[in-house]
Amino acid sequence: MKRTATILLFMTALCLGIQAQYGPVGFVNHNDGINGITGGMKGTVVRVTNRQDLATYAKASQPYTIIVEGRFEGSGLNRSKDVISVASDKTIIGVKGAELAGIGLDINGKQNIIIRNLVIHHADPDAIAVRNSHHIWIDHCEFYSQDETKEDWDGLVDLTSGSSYLTVSYCYMHDHHKACLLNSGTMHFEDNGKNRATYHHNAFMRIDQRSPRIGYGLAHVFNNYYQDIGSYAVGGHTQAQIVTEKNHFGTSVRHPFENMYASSTDDASCAFWSDRGSHFTTTPATDFKHRQTGTSFEPSLWYGYDFALEEAADIARLYPTRVGQVDGLEHEPILWPGNGAIDISLGAKPAYSPIEGMTGTKVLWGTDKNVLREISLDSLRLQPSTTYYWQVLAQTADSSYRSPVYCFTTAGVKAAKPTPADGEFNARLRVAASAEAKTAAMPLSWRPAAEAQSYRVYLATDADSLDQAKPISTNTVSCQPGSLRYGQTYFWRVDVIKASGDVVTGDVWRFSAPARPVRVGRTELEHLTRGAYAYLEREDGSWFKASNDSVIVGEAGPGAVTGVWEGENGSYEISVDFYDEAAGQAGMFLSVNDRQIDFWKGVKQYGMTTHRINKEVTLHRGDQIRIDFYTQGKMRSRIDCIDIKLKALAIGQATIPDDTGHETVIYDLTGRRVAAKDLRPGIYIVNGRKIAVKTAAGL
């Protein structure tokens, strides 16, 4: 019988000779597109000592763990573009002293890549450029660019063009102008729903700005050290949601945070920022541009990180011993699931990466981080809603090495963490689906259950009717319920279907969205309910004159405003005022209850323009009136107001018997009955039909 060893773990320095690290932490562990980060775990280990071999293995289609040894020089030192392309499923890790001088790494349209323990400097255009890629972990690297003349270069680590699920950790970034981007800038629809990144335990020193700068997405910036920051440390724009937590901002940090382009929270360019327990050596500025907005997101809904979170007062010790290159990191096994990963299914098979020359391993496992026992992964049986701690000891011919202690938490037996959140009363029922199209109906989504084979979703307008609703079946963690109505409260439930056929009944959640009235006459669109990329913009009349003091603006994607008709049933003439901009055309749609009535574009001329809908529109009380819009080109789309004029009330067919059998029934446009002798020229409803009367004798 195999003896099982019990090993007490004390969180001390590893035999690698480095302080305890944490492995991949943060958004890089999230299951979306792929199930977390593994890099080259499934491939072989190779060691390269020249640039050509590095380039060959990096661009290969199969997975590799690539150990880089030595200094490689490139033409970036002479300000000429020089990059090595990195394909999916790679781990590139340097031996201490590994250096790319004037060579950048380019990741474009790839996934599942780990880059660790490299010094990259004077790279043209960027040290690491990540575009349209996801699940990238950059760890323990050093980046810089400027020489004694302080000549500006481009970025150090730029994560752009719809990249997402990224973590940058324990990196030393210094002597540079614009360090890190998360998003390419404003008006980039490809970033919709992307740009989710974690920056932790990095040191930013002698940097002017962008450490990092975030647009559109979600960024968690914790336990970073900032010193000698000339302009601002963390920047945000265009609806980014940012949590800064327990960072250390030194005396020479001009501004810890900057809202890049907005002057109020209503602006499309506004970023939303909240700080938790950071150390500010000097008092931050209190003007809008540099203060917290108080609205952001909750990182713990995406991943666990408490085990890695340190007090802000301790973060000054990051530099110089804990950031940048460290000795022996190439010997550290990387584990999957990543550290702090949550909602892991019971069918997951934990795995670890090989190290060079590995001859054997031991896996230590438990539910108490201080007491781990040796197990075989083949015999492992995971339980729901359980946090596991584990570590791998790797043996080579002449030494042994160990990973940090990782933890992960399995999913519960029920679907959880719904979107919209339970109790949400301002749900965005319209979302952006593509760059130049109408908005789409909001999907429902949730986090996976531990043993789900599939799901059944029930939706109703009262909780007691859920079981009678027609279910939506899906094998994914989202579904499309179709268009939903403003002003209505919805109840929904997600039942889990196991492989055995057993059903786990879910919790009942609810959400709603406000209904705003539209009436005869002018309605300011800023008073309606907004969806997708629709924001308020105030105008002072210096550029153009709004009918009130505001317009609805869209940027880098479709938006919509919706109202509920509170007028009489009838036929109406509708017009919409919008600002027509020569920089690009705005496309606009008018829909009633999801039926498209009209579509039009601007004509590329500056100025406020009125568009009249090309036909009379029949409206009934309670109809949902929606104006969708999108932008084309580097511009904003602005719509001001909607004007609705009565043409004829919808009077039902009506006859009243008289001595001859029937009587002609006449109403005026207000619905008042009119005698034939009282007719004047105008439009009347006669037995339910609209008739123009030129003279009293004309009927």
pLDDT digits (tens, 9 = 90+) for 557-614: 799 999 999 998 888 999 999 988 766 678 999 999 999 999 998 877 778 889 999 8
Q: Which two tokens stand for residue 140?
A: 């323990």
Q: Where are the domains of the chain?
A: 20-318, 348-409, 416-511, 517-647, 651-699
DSSP 213-228: EEESSEEEEES-EEEE
Give 663's pLDDT tier (boundaries 50, 70, 90): low
Q: Which two tokens stand for residue 679?
A: 């007719």
Give 695's pLDDT tier (boundaries 50, 70, 90): low
* CATH homologous superfamily of 20-318: Single-stranded right-handed beta-helix, Pectin lyase-like (2.160.20.10)
Mean pLDDT over 243-259 rounds to 96
Q: Compute the distance between CA of residue 115 and CA of residue 160 in angstroms, rounded to an integer.
A: 17
Question: What is the model's pLDDT at position 9?
Answer: 42
Percent of the chain with pLDDT over 90: 74
**pLDDT, greater one: 556 or 430:** 430
Is pLDDT above 50 for 645?
yes
Question: What is the model's pLDDT at position 277?
Answer: 97
Q: Compute the distance between CA of residue 336 and CA of residue 41 in angstroms, rounded to an integer.
A: 9
Average pLDDT score, the chain: 90
Q: Which two tokens stand for residue 22?
A: 């944490």
Q: Which of 114-128, 153-167, 483-497, 553-567 has the lowest mean pLDDT?
A: 553-567
Contacts of 405 by beta carbon, 8 Å cutoff, 6+ apart: 9, 11, 369, 372, 389, 390, 391
pLDDT in tens, 440-456: 999 999 999 999 999 99
Alpha-carbon dihedral angle through residues 542, 548, 551, 552, given to the nearest 10 degrees = 170
pLDDT in tens, 44-79: 999 999 999 999 999 999 999 999 999 999 999 999
Q: Which two tokens stand for residue 55?
A: 């380039």
Give 650's pLDDT tier (boundaries 50, 70, 90): low
Are the CB atoms for 118 and 100 separated by under 8 Å?
A: yes
**pLDDT, greater one: 213 or 294:** 213
pTM (two decimals): 0.91
Active site residues: 210
Are the CB atoms for 268 and 302 separated by under 8 Å?
A: no
Are the CB atoms for 232 and 208 separated by under 8 Å?
A: no
Q: Which of 325-339, 531-545, 593-607, 683-697 has the lowest mean pLDDT?
A: 683-697
Give 429's pLDDT tier (boundaries 50, 70, 90): very high
Q: Which of 212-221, 279-288, 544-553 has the lowest mean pLDDT?
A: 544-553
pLDDT in tens, 362-416: 999 999 999 999 999 999 999 999 999 999 999 999 999 999 999 999 999 999 9
Are the CB atoms for 186 and 261 separated by under 8 Å?
A: yes
- HSE (side-chain half, CA atoms, 13 Å) at 82: 19
Q: Which two tokens stand for residue 189?
A: 């629809």
Architecture, CATH, for domain 517-647: Sandwich (2.60)
Please choose, from the candidates 632, 472, 650, the residue with its C-alpha nearest in 3D space to the C-alpha of residue 570: 650
Question: What is the model's pLDDT at position 2?
Answer: 38
Mean pLDDT over 320-349 rounds to 95
CA angle (535 as vertex; 529, 537 as ends), nearest 5: 120
Question: What is the model's pLDDT at position 63?
Answer: 98
Question: What is the model's pLDDT at position 604?
Answer: 73
Element (H, E) at 444: strand 444-447
Question: What is the model's pLDDT at position 689?
Answer: 67
3-state secondary structure 656-691: CCCCCCCCCCEECCCCCECCHHHCCCEEEEECCEEE
Give 32's pLDDT tier (boundaries 50, 70, 90): very high
Q: Is the peptide bond before 420 cis (omega within 30 degrees of 0)?
A: yes
Backbone dihedral angles phi then psi of residue 556, each to the nearest 5 degrees: 60, 35
Give 662's pLDDT tier (boundaries 50, 70, 90): low
3-state secondary structure 52-102: HHHHHHHCCCCCEEEEECCEEECHHHHCCCCEEECCCCEEEEECCCCEEEC
CATH dotted code for 416-511: 2.60.40.10
Query: 20-318 and 416-511 share one CATH topology?
Result: no
Are the CB atoms for 72 and 54 separated by under 8 Å?
A: yes
Give 268's pLDDT tier (boundaries 50, 70, 90): confident
Percent of the chain with pLDDT over 70: 89
Is pLDDT above 80 for 323?
yes
Question: What is the model's pLDDT at position 647?
Answer: 83
Is pLDDT above 80 for 13?
no
Is pLDDT above 90 for 697?
no
Q: Compute the distance between CA of residue 112 and CA of residue 123 in angstroms, rounded to an integer.
A: 23
B/e letters for 205-238, b = 16+ CB within 10 Å, e = fewer, are bbbbbbbbbbbbbbbbbbbbbbbbbebbbbbbbb
pLDDT in tens, 132-164: 999 999 999 999 998 655 667 789 999 999 999
Q: Which two tokens stand for residue 66?
A: 């690539």
